[in-house]
Amino acid sequence: METEVSQSPFSSVAVIGLGLIGASLSAALKKTYPDIIVFGVDVDSRTRVTALDRHWVDEVSGPADPAFEDFIRERCDLVILATPVAAVDDYFQKIAEWGYDGVLTDTISTKAHVLEAAQEYLGNQCDYIPGHPMAGSERNGIDGAREDLFQGINWILCPDASTVPEHFQEMHEFITGLNARVISLHREDHDRAVAIVSHVPHIVASSLMQLATNHCDENRSLMRLAAGGFKDSTRIAAGSPQLWCGIAFDNAEALREGLAEMEGIIDEFLDALDQGDRSRFTKILAEAADARRSLPAAWVPSTDKLLEVRIPMVDRTGILAEVTTIASSVGCNIQSIEIDHVTEGNAVLSLVLTDEGDIGQLSLKLITAGFSVSFSPLTAKENTHVQ
C-alpha cells in the first residue's frame, strides 16, 4: 500500500531516539508529511549522521546539544520519545525544565515506570498521551529501520480524563495518516495486554529455538528441517537479547503471569497425552485453530460501509478516553474523529467507524456507561473526514 502524502496536524516534531522505531518513524513522517520538520536526537554519532544522510530528519543533535533545547523551547509542537525505559527520566526532566507545554507521546513497550516518571517530572505541564506502535523487526537500530514499518499495524494510545480531546484527535489523525490503526487502552491495562500478545510470544519463540538447538548435532542438520512454520514461529527470537532482557524486566510481573499461564496450557496438552485423551487434545487444538482463523488476514476496512457515532459532550470530563476505549474493546475501528463545538461549554463528539467490530455491543456499552448516542450510516462520499 502506498503512503499518501497529506498535511500533518503537527508542524515540528522532535523524535528522541533514532533506533529501529524512532528512525522508522522519522522516515515514515518525512514520506507521509513532506512539509513536517523532524528534529532527531540520539546519543550515537553514527546514527545521527545516518539519519541526516538518508533525509529522515531535517536536523539532528545529541541530547546535550543546545540546538535540542532551542528546538523544544521555540519550535516544537510534538515530542515523540523512542528511547529505552532507562533514559526516560532524564529526558522528561529536560523537557520540563525547558518549559515545553505541547503534546508528548512515546513508543515504549512498557508503561509502568514511564507513567510514574511522567507524573513526577511533567505533571500537567504538557499533554502526555502514552503510545506504543505494535511494530518491530528482527533487525535492530537504525540499520533495521524502514519507512513502511507501521503500515497496517496497531498503534496503542492511552488517553485518560486529563487528555485534551483536541490533542487526541490530532494524534489519531497523525497516526492513521501513516496507515496505522489506533487502539485505545486504559493506561493500567497496557502492560498486561502487551505481555500476552508481544512479550510472552517472544519468550516462547526463544524457547523453541533453544529446544531445536538442544537437539542439533554439530552439523546442525536438524535445522534443515525447519520449514516455514518453524521459521515463522521463531523469527522474532532473532531480536536484540539486550533489548528484550530490558523489556522483560521492565514488565516482569505481567510477563511472569503470562508465562505461568502458558505453562498451564502446555500442561493441559501433557495431561491429555498422559491420559491418552484424544478428544480433549483435539478440543484444545480446535479452540486455538478457531481463534486463529477468526483473526483478519489484513487490515482492509471497507470505505463503502461507514457508520457515524455522535455523542454529546456536556460537562463530561474524560469522555473521549472512555468512548474510544469502549470502541476498541469491542473491535470497532475509528477511522476519524471530529469535535464539533456547539457552544462554549458544549460539543458533540463524532466518530466515523469502519465496518468492523460489534456495533451492538458498542451501543450497549456506551448506553450502559451513561452516554447519549446516535448512529447514522454513511457512505465514503458523505464522510468529509475521508480523504
User: Are residues 104 and 231 located together in one domain of the fold?
Assistant: no
CATH classification at residue 322: 3.30.70.260
Q: Which of 293, 316, 347 is the last residue of a domain?
A: 293
Whether 386 maps to a domain, the answer reads no
pLDDT of 367: 92
Give the N- to C-terminal CA distance of the chain in Å, as an integer: 15
pLDDT of 2: 47
Q: Taking residues 2-24, what's their average pLDDT?
A: 87
User: Are residues 24 and 119 located together in one domain of the fold?
Assistant: yes
Range of the domain at 172: 12-185
User: Are residues 143 and 226 located together in one domain of the fold?
Assistant: no
336 neighbors 384 (Cβ within 8 angstroms): no
User: Are residues 373 and 247 located together in one domain of the fold?
Assistant: no
pLDDT of 4: 52
Amino acid at 172: H
Asked whether residue 379 carries a pLDDT value surpassing 70, the answer given is no
Whether 202 maps to a domain, the answer reads yes
User: Are residues 180 and 257 located together in one domain of the fold?
Assistant: no
- Bridge partners (DSSP) listed for residue 128: 104
User: Are residues 175 and 202 located together in one domain of the fold?
Assistant: no
Q: How far is CA 60 from CA 140, 236, 244, 370, 380, in A?
A: 20, 30, 27, 48, 40
pLDDT of 240: 82
252 neighbors 113 (Cβ within 8 angstroms): no
What value does the mean pLDDT of the chain take? Answer: 89
CATH classification at residue 268: 1.10.3660.10
Whether 287 maps to a domain, the answer reads yes
- Quote the CA–CA distance of 260 and 345 in Å, as a whole number: 50
User: Are residues 61 and 86 located together in one domain of the fold?
Assistant: yes
User: Are residues 79 and 119 located together in one domain of the fold?
Assistant: yes
- Quote the CA–CA distance of 90 and 68 in Å, as a whole number: 14
User: Are residues 163 and 261 located together in one domain of the fold?
Assistant: no
Listed in sequence order, the residues at least 6 apart from 177 whose beta carbon sits closer than 8 Å to its beta carbon are: 4, 6, 8, 32, 33
pTM, two decimal places: 0.84
C-alpha cell at 180: 496505522
State pLDDT tens for residues 145-167.
999 999 989 999 999 989 999 99
Provide, rounded to the nearest whole percent, the portion of the chain with pLDDT above 70: 90
User: Are residues 50 and 142 located together in one domain of the fold?
Assistant: yes
C-alpha cell at 97: 525544565
Higher pLDDT, 241 or 6: 241
Q: Which of 185, 208, 233 is the last residue of a domain?
A: 185
Whether 6 maps to a domain, the answer reads no
CATH classification at residue 28: 3.40.50.720
Asked whether residue 77 carries a pLDDT value surpassing 90, the answer given is yes
Whether 387 maps to a domain, the answer reads no
Whether 384 maps to a domain, the answer reads no
User: Are residues 209 and 352 located together in one domain of the fold?
Assistant: no
Would you give the DSSP letter of residue 100?
-
71 neighbors 39 (Cβ within 8 angstroms): yes
Query: How many domains are there within the chain?
Result: 3
Whether 235 maps to a domain, the answer reads yes
- Quote the CA–CA distance of 292 and 236 in Å, as a whole number: 19
State pLDDT tens for residues 256-281.
999 999 999 999 999 999 999 999 99
Asked whether residue 386 carries a pLDDT value surpassing 50, the answer given is no
User: Are residues 113 and 210 located together in one domain of the fold?
Assistant: no
Q: How far is CA 334 from CA 57, 70, 386, in A?
A: 30, 36, 12
Q: Which of 130, 160, 185 is the last residue of a domain?
A: 185
Whether 343 maps to a domain, the answer reads yes
pLDDT band, residue 344 (cuts 50/70/90): low
